[in-house]
Copies of this chain bind each other. A is one copy, B any other.
Amino acid sequence: MLSMKCKYALKALVVLAAEGTKLPSSAIAQKARVPAKFLEAILTDLRKADALTSERGAHGGHKLKGSPEKIMLGHVVRAMDGMLAPIPCASTFYYKKCDDCTDEKICVIRHAMTEVRNKIAEVLDSMSLEDLVNMSPKKKQQLFW
């Protein structure tokens, strides 16, 4: 399951990708329909994840860091929610050994979940913010949801 945080993060980034300009968090919150104060915290995390840059003060705001086609969904989801894999032992970026496993090399649960994690990563690591923006038939009107 994606957390709300992660979903909001994706929506915020889609807004920024579509807009192309610097936007204050209040404007993003409105366009993405996301709780304003919660979004503030999320934007900070996204900045730490190198997905955007922020400017403080009057006329400040947030802007995508780099072009939308270079920011992959997998990167965002990992930054917000951690591993893509269903269980830690099947994760490549967040691997962690199971307590109830003696020989993870042969663990059949792990084998199965590694297949799942690879499929998830395949999709999310090949899909960019630009892909998301282009996906909408109404992108001219900036309606993505």
* Interface, chain A (partner B; CB < 8 A): 1-2, 7, 10-11, 14, 33-34, 73, 83, 86-87, 98, 100-104, 106-113, 115-116, 119-120, 122-124, 127, 131-133, 135-138, 143-145
Q: A127-B112, A137-B106 are in contact. Are A87 and B7 (CB under 8 A)?
A: yes
> A136 contacts B86, CB within 8 Å?
no
Q: Quick one: copies of this chain in the complex?
A: 2
**What residue in chain B is nearest A139 (Cβ atoms)?**
B108
Q: A87-B2, A87-B7 are in contact. Are A116 and B107 (CB under 8 A)?
A: no
CA distance A87 to B10 in the complex (A): 13
CA distance A108 to B144 in the complex (A): 6
* Chain B residues, Cβ within 8 Å of A111: 132, 135
The 9 closest A-B pairs by CB, nearest first: A107-B145, A119-B119, A2-B86, A108-B135, A108-B132, A33-B100, A101-B145, A108-B144, A108-B136
19 intermolecular pairs with C-beta atoms under 8 Å apart? A7-B87, A7-B109, A14-B109, A33-B100, A34-B100, A98-B145, A101-B145, A102-B143, A103-B143, A104-B145, A106-B137, A106-B144, A106-B145, A107-B144, A108-B135, A112-B124, A112-B127, A112-B131, A119-B120
* Chain B residues, Cβ within 8 Å of A104: 145
